[in-house]
Structure 1
């Protein structure tokens, strides 16, 4: 049995990953692989015996107000009764393949009562942890198993409780960097997770970083950047509901916001890792302030120090590669090309270890150098080598 992406040989299932065939043995991994390959939306699964009383209808008045405020004063949901609203949001419908009619998984995850959610998604949970002092266990913890609407509020409150809110002015307006960043991370991990997976979703705050991770119906693997971003809805019904009530913005805007505001919050860029487990990693630095730099230096003093260091590093690195006649934009590009010159078979992981540049940055720079015509890759990922033109 074969396809372009996976095949079975002697009752063993293999998944094609880049140029390699990887043996898949665990039941959960096989199920996740087929969900990914078939490109289906599990949120649309119909539960024909689910009833209105299985939902938290007491949340709908609040939802109408939120939708109205987000829309600027007028929203169609305000004039609808409960059943009309649920149908309008795509939470009630008919499966044209099976003929089943009723509430779908999206409805039960968004508005279901806790016991109903436990019934349809028994492994659904978000484990929120703080590991700053006690890194072996935790300093603070909340296990959240309720509907997505209330999970969103609880996770935001957890972030507000355990993260500093640094002063930042955007124009003349005081903007909460902490709330903006946590909002994007929380909405993403709730909207885009694969609810049929047994993988435990997490929101973890550590001393030098925080991250969310969740099961994912991935269409590709690797790092996501602003340059290679291709918005792909994993749960379009849930995502549309979140956008209607202001819990999320247009698809893809969250990535851009995090890249923008993380620089102001910690001075560093976030990482988005796409795979069967999706991760957003945001660096943290409690001493960093966009207004005062690090260790109470002013912005101008910090920038002067950085510029002087950068110029010195660039001068030293350029002297190392005088034989190369190339147009480099950063000292990281120079360092990477120098290492490749010394060892054309060097791996991305070895570059990261030798230079201290993050693996995500290495993965962004190499394609850029190829596009500029400085580097050419010969052979495959595992046994190939780099050629400097």
Structure 2
């Protein structure tokens, strides 16, 4: 355990702490400060960890500029049974960052060089300042100004946060002139932003089964509804073998969830909105905007973080939809390799292939590989081929929307179709051997 360009050890919270944080904020990919470990890597431990964590957050928030909330995490962990505190710092989009009381100059700006934090030269400061992103969610004015935040307040109250009179200001939702910015617009009770989820019958976009938009409301509410939809579409299937019953999902649930949340949090909303597409052999999650400027592909796959929208990251972190910085990508890479990612100048695309056994079941080889909802509905139809939709709702105990969704899915998968008119026709179910 030695210090390097990504890791710095400190025995305790000292007066050079802000200097280290600033150096990682200005360093591509960020880094980590570990408190309770000496320079040699020996675990010393931290006493009074709760108070120390509060001091860390307070000092970063108040002593460093531009705003840093959403760009760091404070994590308590143990090393050799001793409490240590990890401060994980992302590289910010508004570089150069500096120590507030010293100003944006050679005394206040630092960057990581090897295992130390070094002052930035005047030329380095000017270069970073010229590249600073002028357009961010915080600087974009909201298309509407009559915004309310009832849903957002409820979320914070449920997490035991107490929204104060300065609730909106604390989440960076206003411009310097007092107008609501685009952060406020995304988290408002009503807005014009929605994320689409599309379902196709085949491997291309020719046969659209269903498309639905989730949004026009607080981004947290829209996200939760999308995650619920993923649970429905990414259904578990079972395969009965001679010895046991094997259950699997179309794609890994954790990886899919992380990809969708990342797409929402890191999306470039000046270009468009995220899109989730289900095909017969894969799920595709697309977000607008390629890699953040300054972050290489190699940095990305090393889980080095440079959030595009720190304001969104901060709120999603508060709601525990995002864990510590950089953890989402690592969860995806535990299950899938780099090939599932594709980067262009305008888009980031993540493609999760279905389990091969599920693809075969989608082609009609059911063999027990259908979940409980579908099995229930198909059994009812087998017993009552001329059943109507209202009767299906009654017999299955499912809602009308659920019945419609299951029928569409079964028809798209090719093991259910209808003969005759809607009024006088009858349902046909393909049996396990492929016949009617």
- TM-score when scaled to structure 2? 0.43
Comparing both structures, which one devotes a greater share of its residues to helix? 1
Q: Which has the larger radius of gyration?
A: 2
- TM-score when scaled to structure 1? 0.48
Larger RCO, structure (CA 8 Å, separation 6 or more): 2
